[in-house]
Structure 1
Amino acid sequence: MQNYRCRTGEIDLIMQDGDELVFVEVKYRSKSQHGSAIEFFHASKKRKFESAAMHYMQEKGFNPSIIPHRIDLVGIEGNGQKQQNINWLKSV
């Protein structure tokens, strides 16, 4: 599933890894002079993302204390004409 939106935020990707539900935030930066893509997933953004993930689970009838789940962060740096650097961090 892609781009789940609710009043508390947005989730870029929702995936499954084995029996675990994975909520993925994707950050892209063409230039790193103001920080890396991963650095833009700061505390307030993470809180909003967690809230959106819990909203999704409630909407689907999933109990967060029973259904294993995690939040991953994908940071992509570089522009389309140069080699891109992709960092996938699990369980942020």
Structure 2
Amino acid sequence: MNTLGLAAENAAVIFLQQQGLKIVARNWQCRCGEIDILAKDGNTLVFVEVRQRRNARFGGAAASISPAKRAKLRATAQYYLINVSPLPPCRFDAICFEGETINWLKNCIDATEG
């Protein structure tokens, strides 16, 4: 991971903690892919994708989460959940940095899509 990506993930962790979420894991990997941040929001397990763009040109950070990336995130989350019992409520969030602006997109990826 590059320095800017690591800085964005660190800033996202701090931001989420300030919002009351508890960080469960960072950069969780399996054969399907990687989840940037796993967090608990109350009893909800949150899979967080961190995206950064210098500005919103070309659609910005949120637009960079392509259908293929969303499918990979869903598959990775399903793999993670294999060993989780009981199965908690889950959602997919994105923390998007556009320059200095932080956008928290809650429940932005449909787990049943695709």
Structure with max Cα Rg: 1
Task: Determine if the alignment matches structure 1 residue 75 to structure 2 residue 75.
Answer: no
What stretches of structure 1 move > 6 A for 4+ residues in a row?
Answer: none
Work out the number of aligned pairs and report it.
84
Cα distance in 1 between the residues matched to 2:63 and 2:104: 13
Q: Say which structure is richer in strand.
A: 1
Q: CA RMSD in A?
A: 1.4
Match in the other structure for 1:27: 51
After alignment, is 41-50 or 25-34 more displaced? 25-34
Q: For residue 101 of structure 2, what is the aligned residue in structure 1?
A: 85
Question: Greater share of helix residues, 1 or 2?
Answer: 2
Report which structure shows greater RCO (CA 8 Å, sep ≥6): 1
Is the aligned partner of 1:10 residue 2:34?
yes
Q: Normalising to structure 1: TM-score of the pair?
A: 0.84
SS in 1 for 2:73: helix
**Residues of 2 paired with 1:71 and 1:24: CA distance?**
6
Report percent identity of matched pairs.
39
Q: Which runs of 5+ in 2 are unaligned?
A: 1-24, 109-114
Distance 2:71 2:42 in 1: 25
